[in-house]
Structure 1
Amino acid sequence: MKILTASGERPDYSKEKVAGSLRRSGAKEHVIQDILKTLEKDLYEGMSTKQIYKLAYKLLKSQDGLTASRYKLKKAIFELGPTGFPFERFIGAVLEHSGYKVEIGKVVQGACVPHEIDVIAVKDEKKLFIECKFHGEQGRNCNVKIPLYIHARFQDIRNHRSQKGENVQVYNEGWVVTNTRFTKDALQYSHCVGLQLLSWDYPKYQGLKDRIDHLGLYPITVSSLLSGREKQFLLSRDVVLCMELLDNQFLLDQLEISPGRKKKILKEMEELCNSGMAYHEK
């Protein structure tokens, strides 16, 4: 049976891939098998991967809400839009909890022109200059034009620092981070010029998803209890992470959420924050 991917391709349906994605979210094996059996009854020729995912999420949510939240992580990252700024904040938070000192949206002087850098992260002798490329929908991968452009900006910054006598080999490192994927040409060019890349599943075992799961740094958009309007309200108040909502519980009062529902939401936030390392160590 052929299905339709976000990029327009039509591969055969693979229950192994569906099972793998459920397994990576921490779903138990008997739950996975139940979902696969139900899915097979509802599949039809040309069904989109988005529809398959939506149905799998619904089935998983009915059995295990916490695992369902982890399962929708990729979609939750897309929901950080549309401006892309929450994604920059999110990437900054991931690095901050990895021991970096972070600045968002700082203007840095280059040899030719100044550049506004999405995220600057400093740790020990290393300074990362990071450009975030956020896409609001699947299927829009970063092609070679993106690292070409970012590398030119990075080189201008390095040239300025070299003129000042700084050790640019140790001190500066250019990164491109995206919530989707990089094309083959983008990967090849970046590897050639020494530009670092971070995407949903790249580098292998160190991609965005792996880092989020490892640290338990889930965005509030993974919540299965908050409405879309409530999520946007919190994002507009610079609350991007589940743990940040735990530190700013008064915002739920501003949303006039009832005490009973507030308790459930905060419990969900706590479980998500605590589940990252526990799941990673399984």
Structure 2
Amino acid sequence: MKHVTKADGSRQRFDRTKVRRTLENLGLRGEDADRIAGEIEASVPDGVRTAGVLRLIRTRARAVRPAVRHRTNLRRALALLRPKPDFEEFVRVLLREHGYRVETGCILAGRCGEHEVDAVAHRDGTTLFVEVKHHVSHHRMTGLDEGRIARAIVEDLQEGFRSGRCPVSIDGALIVCNTKLSEHAKRYAACRGIGQIGWDYPAEKNLRTMIEETQSYPVTIVSGVSPSVSARLAAAGFVTAKQVAYGDAGVIAHSSGLSLPETLLVAGRARAILEP
């Protein structure tokens, strides 16, 4: 049995599943991910540092898919987005990609007060208000508080609609976050009928799978994109790599204030990531 040594000096059992998951986050799938994970497990010495494993993962991944050199880990890319307005706009774009009609800039009146919500999303005859939660550290859990607050807002808005104060009939809430959800948060939301989308929750339609199904990667997936460049792109409405890769480079450069060479560089790397 092999072990890895973490940054704090502690040791834990080598987990091949984690290696495969990291390869998937870099865009590898199926047999390639399985094969490389097995090769890495067989080749590393007992006690190898996790940083060394990560370097080996990227090296092996680049040999199969050269575009990996242009790509940041997806969880890290999401964390690199500014919470407001970048990640909020990213979530709105992602929901539209999955068939929601999304309204923004919404202030809804409940019976007891007004509520500024991140979005109102409509699909299949259901109307939800959307609460977006972003953590800079993707290792941090999203906890119970968001669900309790969302439950209170739903009740107030529904009472506001019945009293004529709220023009929109809200059926429920949808919380979208870039991290994992605590077990307490999941139980409470399930009990109260609150929708939740976290990094790996729910199992079939979580944030990761929703992004990968539509290739709606954040623009920060492109390695070498500085915070100032991604902020300028987001301010101009370009929050996904797909928007930059296949948009009009001249329009993007003009609206974001970037030079045309800067824009073309990001667009080229984004296309390399998106295309087989």
TM-score class normalised by the smaller sequence: 0.7 to 0.9
SS of equivalent residue, structure 1 residue 174: strand
CA distance in 2, matches of 1:165, 1:111: 7
Deviation at 1:150? 1.6
1:194–1:51: structure 2 CA closer, same or farther, 3 Å change rule? farther
Deviation at 1:226? 3.5
SS of equivalent residue, structure 1 residue 128: strand
Bigger drift between 157-166 and 85-94 goes to: 157-166
Any conservation in 2 of the 1:21–1:71 contact (CA below 8 Å)? Answer: no
SS of equivalent residue, structure 1 residue 108: strand
Deviation string, structure 1 residues 63-115 (Cα, Å, up to 9, x no partner): 5243566771111111112x332111111001112222212231111110000
Matches within 5 A, 1:1-282: 1-4=3-6, 11-23=12-24, 25-27=27-29, 29=31, 33=35, 41=44, 44=47, 47=49, 52-53=53-54, 56-57=57-58, 59-61=60-62, 63-67=64-68, 72-81=73-82, 83-164=83-164, 172-224=171-223, 226-245=225-244, 246-250=246-250, 251-252=252-253, 254-258=257-261, 263=264, 265-273=266-274
Whichever residue aligns with residue 258 of structure 2, its letter is L
CA distance in 2, matches of 1:3, 1:61: 24
CA distance in 1, matches of 2:36, 2:67: 17
Gaps of 5+ in 2: none
Deviation at 1:177? 1.0
1:94–1:15: structure 2 CA closer, same or farther, 3 Å change rule? same
Provide the TM-score with structure 2 as the length reference. 0.80
SS of equivalent residue, structure 1 residue 130: strand
Whichever residue aligns with residue 255 of structure 1, its letter is L
* Identical residues among aligned pairs (%): 21
Provide the TM-score with structure 1 as the length reference. 0.78
1:208–1:72: structure 2 CA closer, same or farther, 3 Å change rule? same
Whichever residue aligns with residue 94 of structure 1, its letter is L
Any conservation in 2 of the 1:3–1:13 contact (CA below 8 Å)? Answer: no
Any conservation in 2 of the 1:216–1:272 contact (CA below 8 Å)? Answer: no
1:235–1:44: structure 2 CA closer, same or farther, 3 Å change rule? farther
Deviation string, structure 1 residues 7-44 (Cα, Å, up to 9, x no partner): xx974221232024314632574676557656864884
Gaps of 5+ in 1: 276-282
Pairwise CA RMSD: 3.5
Bigger drift between 86-95 and 230-239 goes to: 230-239
Give the count of matched residue pairs.
268
1:181–1:23: structure 2 CA closer, same or farther, 3 Å change rule? closer
Any conservation in 2 of the 1:216–1:274 contact (CA below 8 Å)? Answer: no
Whichever residue aligns with residue 28 of structure 2, its letter is G
